[in-house]
Amino acid sequence: MASLTPDLLLEAYANGFFPMAERKHSKELHWFCPEWRGVIPLEGFHIPRSLKKFMEKHPLTVTFDTAFPDVLAACADRKSTWINGEITTLYNALHRRGFAHSVECWREGALAGGLYGVSIGAAFFGESMFSRASNASKVALVHLVERLKARGFLLLDTQYLNDHLKQFGAHEIPRGTYMERLREAVERQATF
């Protein structure tokens, strides 16, 4: 997969596939298109009561696309990660072309947490998130969903489902249903 380009990556996303490395230092990438796909319904998004209270008491400054390379690097900065050097290069290239985006949470001028993903049409593909401060990645997710709803997005793909995302209303749908929603979303125009 040494010849993977940003254009091929966008075509893969539009067809339900995404790449991952086995480990941070792996040279090879693998394609995935899970039989069951994690999604967060934008209209059914749930903010836990404890998070609402936290956001009121401990407001973070939230920005979009102001520190994409830093967010990507922070997401990769863990013992076990699928984000290798090639992923880093490709997604930074997608960001420069306007297809990869980040949500940043700041506390006292320092990057406290965030997330990044890819947008095509009215589909947003969440890739990874990180926190250096309590709840910062959750706050980033809340702001991402608000932005996607305001901008006319139809699909928020989380790829896989985990307990962290379930609290927000995330659930799994079968690949066939996902592909139908994906086709509709990528054909619709929306601007992140």
pLDDT band at 93 (very low <50, low <70, confident <90, very high): very high
Q: Residue 183, class by beta-carbon neighbours within 10 Å (0-12 exposed, 13-18 middle, 19+ buried)?
A: middle
Q: How many CB atoms lie within 10 A of CB 34?
A: 16
- On average, the pLDDT of the chain sits at 95
| CA neighbor of 118 nearest in space, from 147, 156, 151 | 156
Confidence check: pLDDT of 1 > 70: no
Identify the three-state secondary structure at position 118.
strand
Domains identified in the chain and CATH numbers: 6-187 (3.40.630.70)
pTM score of the predicted model: 0.95
Average pLDDT for 127-134: 96
Q: What are 137-163's pLDDT values in tens digits?
A: 999 999 999 999 999 999 999 999 999
Which helix (H) or strand (E) segment is 156 a member of? strand 155-159
Please provide residue 36's backbone torsions phi and psi, each rounded to the nearest 5 degrees.
-120, 130
Q: What are 41-81's pLDDT values in tens digits?
A: 999 899 999 999 999 998 899 999 999 999 999 999 998 89
Confidence check: pLDDT of 182 > 90: yes
Contact of 115 with 71, CB cutoff 8 Å: yes
